[in-house]
Copies of this chain bind each other. A is one copy, B any other.
Amino acid sequence: MASELPPHDPRKNQRAEPRPGTAAWWLAQENEPARRRRRRSLTLDAVLDTAMALLDTRGVAALTMRNIAEGLGCTQASLYRHVRNREELVTLLVDRALSVASSVPPGDTDWAEKAAWSARLFREHLLRHPGVASLLRGTERLGPNSLAGVQYSLELFIGAGFSPRLAYAAASSLATFIIGSVNFNLGLDSSDPEESRHRRLLYRSRDAAALPLIVQHADALAEVSSDDEFEVGLKALLTGFRALIQNPDITHD
| A interface residues with partner B (beta carbon < 8 Å) | 19, 21-24, 26-27, 134, 137-139, 141-142, 147-148, 150-151, 154-155, 158, 164-166, 168-170, 172-177, 179-181, 183-188, 194-195, 198-199, 201-202, 205-206, 210-214, 217, 220-221, 223-224, 228-233, 235-241, 243-244, 250-251
- Distance (whole angstroms) from the CB of A179 to the closest CB of chain B: 6
Residues in B whose Cβ lies below 8 Å from that of A201: 23, 27
- Distance (whole angstroms) from the CB of A58 to the closest CB of chain B: 17
Query: In the bound complex, what is the Cα–Cα distance between A166 and B223 (angstroms)?
Result: 11
Query: In the bound complex, what is the Cα–Cα distance between A243 and B123 (angstroms)?
Result: 24
Please tell me if the beta carbons of A233 and B169 are within 8 angstroms of each other in the complex.
yes
Please tell me if the beta carbons of A173 and B244 are within 8 angstroms of each other in the complex.
no
Q: A176-B180, A221-B164 are in contact. Are A155 and B202 (CB under 8 A)?
A: no
- Distance (whole angstroms) from the CB of A196 to the closest CB of chain B: 8
Residues in B whose Cβ lies below 8 Å from that of A151: 210-214
Residues in B whose Cβ lies below 8 Å from that of A241: 236
Please tell me if the beta carbons of A176 and B184 are within 8 angstroms of each other in the complex.
yes
Please pick, from B137, B199, B221, the residue contacting A165 in the complex, using a CB distance under 8 A. Answer: B221
Closest to A150 in B: B214
What 10 new A-B contacts, CB under 8 Å, besides A21-B187, A22-B187, A173-B232?
A23-B201, A27-B202, A164-B220, A165-B223, A169-B232, A173-B181, A173-B236, A176-B184, A179-B180, A239-B244
Please tell me if the beta carbons of A238 and B240 are within 8 angstroms of each other in the complex.
yes
Please pick, from B202, B217, B243, the residue contacting A154 in the complex, using a CB distance under 8 A. Answer: B217
